[in-house]
């Protein structure tokens, strides 16, 4: 599965890239490649088409994509995008993640504790206004402050004028700034989810593999004023589905790509960043595996985290493998060398040449900073840290605050802070203890801040004392601290708040350091982008930024190890796949599927692949045809697509989608949900 | 389970320690604590008692302990000590590790491909001769060479004079050197092993926990001249078993302890070495987990490695937790401070004070060297590397060679090199590819040696090419290369041999660096030992060195989280334990046990705990009573014992043993092996 983007530990920059292959590109909705589409596919998306697809697309702010699929607010996304909510709605007695859920009536639909869904409504270019605020020659810290201030101002003005969530998005490595306005939905309710056994059939073993046999979808409904929201732009369902070779369009929110990272930046990824993060992911994977061994309920509590970590480990491992392929690097080096030689000989561009060295210097500083941290892990510590930061940030004007504490982001921040989602003390202790042990490992046991944070105790003892002692599990107490402001925080004797206060200066210092590095990179990459615009023109797309993009390409199989992988799998194939693996975990189809087997048409398409250019964050993206009808839902890329962060290829890399015909067949024949199936597209 | 010591990634030094608690100590057989035993337990081991127990004890050279238990060569050890052989004797069709084995007749006993068992026959103090060779003021490299030369000479003379395996063992951090002579057994055959489901009941979850319910034993037989060996010293079996509070003796080969490491050395362990090794172990754990996902046969192939890694990860994690407990460090620091103040005020000892600084300096160099490596992982690379080193070392006199290539070690070396144990190409590729990727991560993708080793390919591609291309799976080809000497190695176009030749200078350089550091530490610690001898006297035991030691203490339960943990578990308890965990993996008792349940006496003792001072390497150690009768077999320590590397405690830390009464009951009633049961002790 593609991972929700917020946990991808992604990089912070958006970069420009130039399509080398025909179907490459994660295109901006206000700058679609019309000429290219017309030439290659004889299709020119009209303004109305683009507007409709854009407004029918939904972003899960927690990291993921989705679409409106009915006039009464139904939202279709991946099971693994909804998994966080399924986990939060589950208890020891009712495991929705594992066993699935169906609301038979609207009254049975389950409110998600903290989802925020965004519908993109408009895009406005504000590059000039942002650029005017940052003067040439400003030191990084000052430039950063100026950029932060103007950005906050633009967003606040827009919010006040329109009432819409307003985000300034940095594109092309800083060369462009666009203002995205979203309609927000925060009353989101669970309608239907299948069992994880079919949503994630084949588990970690099949993840990123193809052929696949997954029904990785679930359905929510957005409400307004306590009633199902009226949705104007929703996707109709394609009656006949899609056919082999037909071009399809993917409208979703790819997380982060690094397509035109300089060679120095890629080397930092290869030799330092990715190995470092992978060590961390393996540590967390073992942590949750071990926690799950303590009992069935513990395994349930850790399940969603474990799946996420395993997915990240496999995805980043694939990226690292790509970077460890010398041929890839040789090509990048040759390309960069040629470009720099060309600049050196160009009077106008010459001065931009320094950007590459700036980027290389930043990598050295990034390397030195790897592993430095001023915070601990786990929901309760996160809450404490946010409360402490909020109390301090709120004493400054909005434009001077850290980004997530600015006025225009307040609603989203508080929704998370006041989430009633369950927090399990045993799990919180394991997580906090491990992060305290890691903090000690990284700074050394003699470090002064380590000694203060641990208060003379071992990580396990200290974590247990903190979790047992904190009142932050109580949402009312959090509210009380927010409304009490800085005075309440300073007066609080809650041990977790005290710990977060102790850590705050270090956390702030390290964050400042990171943001300054990002600012320097942004300035450098915007020069790189200028060079590329000057040489290649501007008919291109920026690197992904977890904002809405359109990708496209035909449904197409591929060759692997000498055999041809067909584009489709079928329901019949799923049963065969189960049998081939001896019906052992993770290849056990749910009981509901075995019970329904005789009713199911084994020829029904299950999953299919296409060449559209996607990445983590695209999970749940609708796949539509030329008529803007829904034909599928993206849920994964194959193993060959894992290097898509750095380059696009249509040789073997494929996006993997659930076929809409499977969704209809399963709803009707497995889940006895004909009513819901009938509502799709209406 | 306690881990075989050779994979414990242990430290290389043996250190002196001074018993603080009554039952502390891993005592030398030529220096038993007679006064202490007489005083506390009213028992004085006679020379004959000591000689008998010593000669009835067996060392698995692959890492583990055991005992002779019949006059016709039966050897009793842990299932997890025999696991490596069980794995090597298994095939896709016959999984001995999982399903167990019983030879009904001697003809059915299965020859182990590469086991070497050692029986300690004598100990001789050669301190003066070694000390005389190393002159004061010699630089580390020179001192190391001198020590290596005199050691090789002593061993060779002894081997030639006695025909016995002869090892000079460095004790008390270098203050003493003893010559150990062993009778070797290399024709070792498998007689009986239970299913892993009962040997390792509760799996990784129960590992290092107590109460436990494991039959972690198996039985081999040693042969001489094709017939069962005649054994003079073997253990009788205690008829009544042992009782609560009774003192017992553990005779085995503890691997490595670090009891009087200086504070600086412990800090290096805490802040650098253990975190580093744990990252590596987690990486390997995930590697084998992922490999096992590819299919049942792959899971079988990786099983033994996976178990070993999981065990090591848990054991080292426990050690790190101990070191991350500030109270532990405060005590160590106070102790060291007092000692050094005392030395500073003592005219005679004053000059020894520099030793602590020497040790601290070495830690800095160790830290800088962490992760530097000149070799890859996997059986085939190991073989290639040994062949290349052997061809070079053989051109030097024995005393100048690296230790494992000296004349007196030749037989053991060749037994390993020519092992017919199966090597699976798919597993070998996964292991080699991962170690090549790691090599690239550690040195960086631009490193020249990385480029040469990978030959311009990705780690996966290169590993596949090497494994597919090498002929080293063929034992005859290995023999040919050994007999052909350096010329044959240099002429070989085998790609794995070529790779090992490419790597040899770097591997040698790094090894030399490590050995020089060890030499400096040895000199420093022998001064520390002198100081301790001067202050506390010499009535003590040295740190563990994977040589035979005697530990002792009563059978005793303990208190944990307010409850009393009784010393015994029973067969009935095992069935209850299974039920409590819903009979889910890893808590599934074998079918044979369910079939035999009605015949089994549920009151039969299963496992028991005692306070004897043990560590990894003690696995399989016989536990005997005052009459030198077998009462149990050590197979684990509880979680509280994991800090035994650094200190002994009898508050909660316990050695966990299989009760001999369980072995007899199971052989007779579960395994239909009454004949074998009857042979035990006769």
Q: Write the pLDDT tens digit of every residue in A39-61.
A: 999 999 999 999 999 999 999 99
- Both tokens of A23, joined, read 């179907």
pLDDT of residue A535: 87
Distance from CA of B205 to the nearest CA of A (A): 6
State the smallest CA–CA distance between residue B402 and chain A in angstroms: 33
Q: How many CA atoms lie within 13 A of A54 on its CB side?
A: 24
Residues B408 and B163: beta-carbon distance below 8 Å: no
Pairwise CB contact (< 8 Å): B457 & A326: yes
* Predicted local distance difference test score (pLDDT) of residue A21: 54
Which residues of chain A make contact with B440, given a CB cutoff of 8 A?
271, 324
**What is the pLDDT at residue A619?**
97
Residue B239 clears pLDDT 90, i.e. is over it: no
Within 13 A of B8's CA, how many CA atoms are on the CB side? 29
Q: Do the beta carbons of residue B119 and residue B55 sit within 8 Å?
A: yes
Q: Give, in degrees to the nearest 5, the angle at Cα A358 between A354 and A363.
A: 150
Q: How many CB pairs under 8 A join A and B?
A: 91
Q: Residue B586 burial (CB < 10 Å; 0-12/13-18/19+)?
A: middle
Closest by Cβ to B321, choosing from A270, A454, A458: A458
Report helix, strand or coil for A592. helix
**Residue of A267, A324, A456 lying closest to B437 (CB–CB):** A324
Whether residue B270 and residue A437 make contact (CB cut-off 8 A), yes or no, is no
In angstroms, the separation between the Cα of residue A285 and the nearest Cα of chain B is 9
- The Cα B260–Cα B647 span in angstroms is 9
Q: Which among B313, B326, B456 has CB closest to A457?
A: B326
- Predicted local distance difference test score (pLDDT) of residue B244: 96
CB-CB neighbors (< 8 A) of B285 in chain A:
282, 286
Report the alpha-carbon distance of residue B407 to residue B413 in Å, rounded: 10
B540 vs A282, which has greater pLDDT? A282
Please state which of the ranges A548-557, B138-147, B279-288 shows the lowest mean pLDDT.
B138-147
Measure the CA–CA gap between B28 and B51, rounded to whole angstroms: 12
What is the total residue count of chain A?
682
The pTM for the full model equals 0.94
* Residues A57 and A234: beta-carbon distance below 8 Å: no
Q: Establish how many alpha carbons lie within 13 A of residue A554's alpha carbon, considering only the half-sphere containing its beta carbon.
A: 12
ipTM of the predicted structure? 0.93
Q: Are A211 and A574 in contact (CB under 8 A)?
A: no
Which tokens go with A563? 């055999």
Which residues in chain B are contacts of A294 at CB distance < 8 A? Answer: 205
Q: Which residue has the tokens 């926690």?
A: A291
- Distance of alpha carbon A603 from alpha carbon B661, whole angstroms: 61
The pLDDT of residue B173: 87
Q: Given a cut of 80, is residue B21 above it in pLDDT?
A: no
CB A325 within 8 A of CB A484: no
Strand-pairing partners, residue B168, are B179
* Dihedral-angle region of residue B681 (phi above 0 means left; psi in -120 to 50 means alpha; beta otherwise): left
CB-based contact A319:A646 (threshold 8 Å):
yes
DSSP state of B545: B
Q: At what angle do helices B425-443 and B379-393 cross, to 10 degrees?
A: 70
Most A CBs within 10 A among B314, B317, B318, B325, hence the mutation to make, goes to B325
Grouping H, G, I as helix, E, B as strand and the rest as coil, residue A63 is: coil
The DSSP element (H or E) to which A176 belongs, if any, is strand A176-185
> CA-nearest residue of chain A to B295?
A581
Q: Which of A203, A268, A271 to mutate to test the interface with B (most CBs of B within 10 A)?
A: A271
Distance from CA of B286 to the nearest CA of A (A): 7
Alpha carbon of B543: minimum distance to chain A alpha carbons (Å): 25
Q: How does A449-486 read in b/e, with b if 16+ C-beta sit within 10 Å?
A: ebeebbeebbbbbbbbebbeebbbbeeebbeebbeeee
**Mean pLDDT (whole number) for B323-333:** 93
| Nearest chain A residue to B266, by CA | A445
B48 Cβ neighbours under 8 A, 6+ residues apart: none
Identify the pLDDT of residue A15.
39
Separation between Cα atoms, residue A420 and residue A297, nearest integer Å: 20
Pairing of strands B629-637, B236-237: parallel
**What residues of chain B lie within 8 A of the CB of A293, using their CB?**
204-205
On average, the pLDDT of chain B sits at 94
Is A72:A228 a contact under the CB 8 Å cutoff? yes
Separation CA B572–CA B604 (nearest Å): 8
Residue ranges in chain A whose pLDDT is less than 50: 3-17, 20
User: Which residues of A sit within 8 Å Cβ distance of B?
Assistant: 204-205, 267, 270-271, 275, 279, 282-283, 285-286, 290, 293-294, 296, 313, 320-321, 323-327, 329, 437, 440-441, 444-446, 451, 454, 456-461, 582
With residue A66 as reference, give the H or E element that holds it.
Answer: strand A64-68
pLDDT band at B609 (very low <50, low <70, confident <90, very high): very high
């Amino acid at each position: 599965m593609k991972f929700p983007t917020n946990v991808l530990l992604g990089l912070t920059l958006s970069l420009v890239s130039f399509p080398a292959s025909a179907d490459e590109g994660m295109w901006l909705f206000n700058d679609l490649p019309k000429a290219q589409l017309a030439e290659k596919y004889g299709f020119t998306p009209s303004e109305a088409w683009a507007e409709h697809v854009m407004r029918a697309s939904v972003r899960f702010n927690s990291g993921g994509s989705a679409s409106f699929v009915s006039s009464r607010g139904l939202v279709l996304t991946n099971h693994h995008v909804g998994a966080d909510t399924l986990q939060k709605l589950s208890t020891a007695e009712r495991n929705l993640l594992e066993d699935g859920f169906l609301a038979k009536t609207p009254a049975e639909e389950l409110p998600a504790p903290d989802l925020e869904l965004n519908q993109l409504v408009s895009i406005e270019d504000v590059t000039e206004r942002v650029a005017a605020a940052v003067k040439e020659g400003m030191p990084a810290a000052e430039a950063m402050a100026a950029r932060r201030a103007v950005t906050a101002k633009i967003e606040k003005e827009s919010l006040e004028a329109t009432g819409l969530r307003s985000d300034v998005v940095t594109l092309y490595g800083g060369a462009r700034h666009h203002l995205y306005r979203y309609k927000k939905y925060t009353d989101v309710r669970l309608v239907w989810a299948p069992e994880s056994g079919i949503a994630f059939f084949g588990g970690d073993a099949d993840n990123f593999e193809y052929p696949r046999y997954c029904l990785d979808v679930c359905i929510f409904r957005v409400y307004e004023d306590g009633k199902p929201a009226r949705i104007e732009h929703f996707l109709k369902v394609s009656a006949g589905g899609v056919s082999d070779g037909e071009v399809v369009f993917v409208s979703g929110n790819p997380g982060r790509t690094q397509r035109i990272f300089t060679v120095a930046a890629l080397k930092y990824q290869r030799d330092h960043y990715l190995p470092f993060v992978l060590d961390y992911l393996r540590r967390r994977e073992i942590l949750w595996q071990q926690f799950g061994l303590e009992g069935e309920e513990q395994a349930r509590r850790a399940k969603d985290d474990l799946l996420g970590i395993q997915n990240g480990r496999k995805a980043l491992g694939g990226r690292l493998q790509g970077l460890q392929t010398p041929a890839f690097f040789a090509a990048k080096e040759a390309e960069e060398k040629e470009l720099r030689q060309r600049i050196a000989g160009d009077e106008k561009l010459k001065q931009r040449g320094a950007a590459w060295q700036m980027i290389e210097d930043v990598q050295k500083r990034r390397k030195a900073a790897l592993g430095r941290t001023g915070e601990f892990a786990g929901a309760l510590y996160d809450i404490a840290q946010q409360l402490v930061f909020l109390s301090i940030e709120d004493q400054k004007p909005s434009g001077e605050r850290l980004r997530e504490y600015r006025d225009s982001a307040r609603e989203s921040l508080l929704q998370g802070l006041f989430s009633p989602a369950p927090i399990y003390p045993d799990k919180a202790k394991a997580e906090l203890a491990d992060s305290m042990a890691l903090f000690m490992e990284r700074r050394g046991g003699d470090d002064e801040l380590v000694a203060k944070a641990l208060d003379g105790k071992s990580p396990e003892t200290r974590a247990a004392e903190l979790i047992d002692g904190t009142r932050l599990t109580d949402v009312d107490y959090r509210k009380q601290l927010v409304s009490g402001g800085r005075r309440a925080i300073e007066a609080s004797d809650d041990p977790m708040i005290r710990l977060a206060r102790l850590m705050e200066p270090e956390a702030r210092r390290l964050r400042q350091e990171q943001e300054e590095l990002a600012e320097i990179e942004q300035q450098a990459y915007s020069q790189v982008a200028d060079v590329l615009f000057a040489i290649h023109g501007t008919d291109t797309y920026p690197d992904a930024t977890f904002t809405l993009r359109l990708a496209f390409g035909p449904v197409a199989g591929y060759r692997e190890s000498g055999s041809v992988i067909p584009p489709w799998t079928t329901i019949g194939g799923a049963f065969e796949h189960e049998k081939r693996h001896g019906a052992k975990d993770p290849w056990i189809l749910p009981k509901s599927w075995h019970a329904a087997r005789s009713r199911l048409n084994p020829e029904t398409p299950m999953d299919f692949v296409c060449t559209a250019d996607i990445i983590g964050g695209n999970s749940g993206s609708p796949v539509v045809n030329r008529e803007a009808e829904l034909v599928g839902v993206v849920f994964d890329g194959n193993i060959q697509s894992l290097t898509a962060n750095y380059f696009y290829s249509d040789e073997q890399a494929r996006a993997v989608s659930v076929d809409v015909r499977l969704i209809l067949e399963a709803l009707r024949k497995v889940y006895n949900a004909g009513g819901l199936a009938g509502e799709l597209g209406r």
